């Protein structure tokens, strides 16, 4: 903001914030505070309740609430008179969000953002909701102010009881790990997803429809691989496994072909408001791109033979890599968090509309594409009066507009217009470039949330590292993906990691933000493990080992086992162990997988890692038994341990050898890959891995001379070195059709 414009505007305290979401409210007439001691002291001094508003910068309904209520002078006056008003960016403070979202869900049966919670000065919640229309919001403000003034003690007493109930619900007694039947749990997750599968449109459940890979495709890929690669699996298990793969693939293909994908510029929106993935809420989130990238690669490898679906999954992965490279990557290498749903229609517009950057009228396409317009419109489902169902356009912003989606295959379009498939695809690609160039020149981009989150960068590092392995045949995408993953890891190490204390910060924007939470450690460790396996750079693995030590120190519960989700903080009244997956996998589920992998990568510490892993299952035993579908990521990780990890030790200098390429071309979710360069062996890793230590000692005796080979170790017992590709192939758990 320029000095001249700032001088003519009212600015509140949030003008000094770093969070893009908080800065969006810096000109509100509301007397906002950030979450912190200043606000809490004021509430106690003036004996006022706190109004807590939680959201994020790309949240459409957060913007609606802000425009209708927080920008309104009369509403703001009521808020300022009766409350201490606190704004929180849920992406910066998931600990605050998690605690009060639990209260919201318990008290109303639902949740979401914007989240509106009323607290006592001691931070105990006594009323909550989400979005309120302007008239209703004022009524709630007035009514709660009256209740506080007339019956304050009852509010405080009620809030205290609520807090105690939340504490009790978060302290579930551990269940012995041996009492958790993982086979039953995995079957229940599969059967529930199969029951909820939309056989027409793909995905699970009805509208609104979220991709939610952590709850669906991540599990289905691992469930499928566990049985399709098992020679002794029963015919029933293999049939179920193939069904699991097929519903996941079908869903991902439907997502790719739907309007939830930005056909012109790449990337995927957060969710679809309809059941067929057509009309999205247009915000794009880094965590969605990362998880969809991972699932597209997993399922690509689960389809052993070339097919249209396999090609679509490859295109999906490449689309995401291209999008994040072009639009979410900072010059320093970190990845930004999100792009907003709302934007101005033109550079001369003054009112933002949802989807304005992405939608087209039929007339616009005629004007821009000329003779190719009819072919393009047929292929992408364009209609003269717009293709958006008014029932899915509550605010009427998409009237007459078209959300592009793949209504027909290239073959169908080619036949319709009597052209070859090659010529048709050329016309479509040329037309898309024309629209992309026009859009970039004439339409203002949606607001960019340019904070860099450690956790989401960790997820993207995983996706990019996997892409560099799986798409090795593409000499453009694979090295680009690896370079981006390396750069993101370097950014976090340089800007969000304290070398002296070993702690992470959660976010970066004009400097580090709040302290790191459990998901920052878990997702980054996972990313570094994946990056180590893809790059053979020992430093990534050593850093992951160190971060796990710090996560154990800060988040492990030595009394009841498992891990807290929130960092220690005197203002977070309950440290919760939130194991349920949401839009992202739970931190503790990813931690479980990390510990299991580290037990084989740093095998000298396997007893400690395994003990902590078992404590995760024990501390979540009741939920795993009663509702395993809420913990799909945890069940996935537990399945891999139950199956047993395969430790591959590759000894050789080449990163592109046929042996490595064969290992990487196979989907082995229970894989651990260790690299030994005979000329530059990983001596630091050898200090915590006895197998590596022995092999390096052998290399030292021979002066580093050896034939490239792979050893496969299971249950900490290693086989003889394998030097031949065919011999290695015979040992791999290849996918076998039912």
**pLDDT tens, residue by residue, 623-639:** 999 999 999 999 999 99
In the chain, the N- to C-terminal Cα span, in Å, equals 61
Which pLDDT band holds residue 655 (cuts at 50, 70, 90)? confident
pLDDT at 153 over 50: yes
Is 153 inside a domain boundary?
Answer: yes
Query: Is 50 exceeded by the pLDDT of residue 4?
Result: no
Which residues span the domain enclosing 693?
Answer: 648-731
Percent of the chain, pLDDT > 90? Answer: 86
For the cut 90, the answer to whether the pLDDT of residue 167 exceeds it is no
pLDDT of res. 8: 54
- Does a structural domain hold residue 68? yes
Please report whether residue 657 resides in a domain.
yes
Q: Does 51 map to a domain?
A: yes
The pLDDT of residue 135 is above 60:
yes
Residue 92 predicted with pLDDT over 80:
yes
* Whole-structure pTM value: 0.94
pLDDT digits (tens, 9 = 90+) for 357-416: 999 999 999 999 999 999 999 999 999 999 999 888 878 899 999 999 999 999 999 999
* Strand intervals (E) in 556-666: 646-651
Report the distance separating Cα 119 and Cα 126, nearest Å.
Answer: 6
Region 88-111: mean pLDDT is 92
Identify the domain boundary among 382, 409, 442: 442
Residues 6+ apart with CB under 8 A from 730: none
Looking at 387, 410, 442, the residue that finishes a domain is 442
Domain presence at residue 27: yes
pLDDT of amino acid 734: 80
Report residue 7's pLDDT band, with 50, 70 and 90 as the boundaries.
very low
Q: How many domains does the chain have?
A: 3
CATH number reported for the structural domain that contains residue 35 in this entry: 3.40.30.10
Using the predicted structure, report yes or no on whether residue 174 has a pLDDT greater than 80.
no
Q: Does residue 310 lie within any of the structural domains?
A: no
pLDDT in tens, 709-718: 999 999 888 9
Give me the pLDDT at residue 162, please. Answer: 82
Closest of 140, 137, 115 to residue 54, by C-alpha: 115
Buried b (16+ CB within 10 A) or exposed e, 107-141: eeeebebbbbbbbbbebbbbbbbbbbeeeebbebb
Is residue 288 one of the residues assigned to a domain? no
Q: How far is CA 572 from CA 37, 117, 123, 567, in A?
A: 12, 15, 9, 9
Per-residue pLDDT, averaged over 244-268, amounts to 98
Residue 633 lies in a domain: no
Are 508 and 452 in contact by the 8 Å Cβ rule? The answer is yes
* pLDDT grade for 542, boundaries at 50, 70 and 90: very high
Q: 351 is written with which tokens? A: 């009112």
* DSSP 3-state of 175: coil
* Confidence grade of residue 173 (pLDDT, cut at 50, 70, 90): low
Q: Cβ atoms within 10 A of the Cβ of 622, count?
A: 15
Whole-number pLDDT of residue 5: 41
Residue ending a domain, among 115, 136, 171, is 171
Half-sphere exposure of 624 (CA within 13 A, CB side): 31
What pLDDT score does 419 carry? 97
**Of the candidate ranges 231-240, 247-256, 264-273, 676-685, the one whose mean pLDDT is the lowest:** 231-240
Give exposure, 693-721, as e/b (b: 16+ Cβ within 10 Å): bebbeebeeeeeebebbbbbbeeeeeeee
Q: Are 530 and 541 in contact (CB under 8 A)?
A: no
**Cα separations (Å) of 315 from 256, 409, 484?**
9, 14, 18
Mean pLDDT across 560-567: 94
CB atoms within 10 A of CB 505: 19
Which pLDDT belongs to residue 6?
Answer: 43
Give me the DSSP letters along 611-640.
HHHHHHHHHTHHHHHH-GGGGHHHHHHHHH
Secondary structure (DSSP) of 272-320: ESSTTS-SEE--EEHHHHHHHHHHHHHHHHH--S--HHHHHHHHHHHHH
Q: Is 103 helix (H, G, I), strand (E, B) or coil?
A: helix
Per residue in 178-227, pLDDT (tens digit) is 677 889 999 999 999 999 999 999 999 999 999 999 999 999 999 999 98
């Amino acid at each position: 903001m320029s000095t001249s414009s700032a001088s003519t505007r009212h600015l509140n305290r949030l003008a000094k914030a770093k969070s893009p979401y908080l800065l969006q409210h810096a000109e509100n007439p509301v007397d906002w505070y950030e979450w912190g001691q200043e606000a809490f002291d004021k509430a106690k001094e003036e004996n006022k309740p706190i109004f807590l508003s939680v959201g994020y910068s790309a949240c459409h309904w957060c913007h609606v609430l802000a425009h209708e209520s927080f920008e309104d002078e009369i509403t703001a006056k009521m808020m300022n008179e009766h409350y201490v008003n606190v704004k929180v960016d849920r992406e910066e403070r998931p600990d605050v969000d998690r605690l009060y979202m639990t209260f919201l869900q318990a008290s109303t049966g639902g949740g979401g953002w914007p989240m509106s919670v009323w607290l006592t000065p001691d931070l105990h919640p006594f009323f909550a909701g989400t979005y309120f229309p302007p008239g209703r919001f004022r009524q709630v403000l007035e009514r709660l102010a009256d209740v506080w003034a007339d019956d304050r003690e009852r509010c405080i007493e009620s809030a205290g009881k609520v807090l105690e109930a939340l504490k009790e619900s978060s302290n579930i007694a551990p269940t012995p790990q041996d009492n958790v039947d993982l086979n039953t749990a995995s079957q229940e997750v599969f059967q529930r997803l199969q029951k909820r599968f939309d056989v027409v449109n793909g995905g699970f459940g009805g509208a609104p429809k979220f991709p939610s890979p952590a709850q669906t495709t991540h599990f289905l890929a691992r469930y499928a691989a566990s049985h399709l690669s098992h020679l002794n699996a029963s015919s029933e298990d293999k049939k179920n496994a193939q069904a699991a793969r097929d519903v996941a693939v079908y869903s991902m293909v439907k997502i790719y072909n739907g309007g939830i994908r930005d056909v012109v510029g790449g990337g995927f929106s957060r969710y679809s408001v309809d059941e067929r993935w057509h009309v999205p809420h247009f915000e794009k989130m880094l965590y969605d791109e990362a998880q969809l990238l991972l699932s597209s690669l997993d399922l690509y490898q689960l389809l052993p033979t070339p097919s249209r679906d396999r090609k679509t999954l490859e295109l999906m992965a490449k689309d995401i890599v291209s999008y994040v490279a072009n639009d979410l990557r900072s010059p320093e290498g970190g990845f930004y968090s999100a792009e907003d749903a709302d934007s101005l229609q033109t550079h001369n517009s003054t009112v933002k509309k949802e989807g304005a950057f992405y939608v087209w009228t039929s007339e616009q396409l005629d004007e821009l594409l000329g003779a190719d317009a009819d072919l393009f419109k047929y292929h992408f489902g364009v209609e003269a009066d717009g293709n958006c169902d008014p029932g899915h356009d509550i605010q009427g912003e998409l009237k007459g507009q078209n959300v592009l989606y793949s209504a027909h295959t290239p073959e169908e379009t080619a036949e319709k217009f009597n052209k070859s498939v090659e010529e048709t695809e050329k016309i479509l690609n040329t037309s898309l470039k024309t629209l992309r160039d026009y859009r970039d020149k004439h339409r203002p981009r949606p607001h960019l949330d340019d904070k860099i989150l450690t956790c989401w960068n960790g997820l993207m590092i995983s996706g990019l590292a996997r892409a560099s392995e799986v798409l090795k045949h593409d000499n453009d995408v694979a090295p680009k993906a690896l370079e981006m993953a390396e750069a993101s890891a370097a950014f976090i190490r340089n800007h969000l990691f304290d070398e002296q204390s070993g702690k992470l910060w959660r976010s970066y924007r004009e400097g580090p933000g709040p302290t790191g939470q459990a998901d920052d450690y878990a997702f980054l460790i996972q990313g570094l493990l994946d990056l180590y396996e893809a790059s053979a750079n020992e430093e990534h693995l050593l850093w992951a080992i160190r971060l796990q030590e710090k996560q154990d120190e800060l988040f492990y519960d030595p009394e009841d086992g498992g891990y807290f989700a929130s960092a220690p903080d005197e203002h977070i009244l309950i440290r919760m162990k939130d194991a349920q997956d949401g839009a992202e996998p739970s931190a503790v589920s990813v931690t479980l997988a990390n510990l299991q992998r580290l037990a084989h990568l740093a095998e000298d510490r396997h007893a400690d890692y395994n003990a902590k892993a078992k404590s995760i299952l024990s501390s979540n035993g009741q939920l795993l038994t009663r509702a395993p579908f809420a913990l799909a990521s945890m069940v996935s990780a537990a399945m891999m341990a139950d199956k047993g990890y395969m430790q591959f030790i590759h000894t050789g200098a080449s990163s592109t050898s046929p042996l490595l390429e064969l290992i990487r071309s196979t989907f082995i979710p229970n894989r651990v890959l260790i690299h030994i360069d005979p000329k530059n062996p990983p001596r630091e890793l050898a200090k915590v891995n006895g197998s590596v230590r022995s092999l390096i000692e052998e290399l030292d005796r021979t002066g580093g001379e050896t034939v490239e080979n792979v050893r496969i170790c299971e249950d900490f017992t290693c086989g003889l070195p394998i030097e031949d590709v065919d011999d290695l192939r015979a040992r791999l758990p290849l996918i076998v059709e039912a």
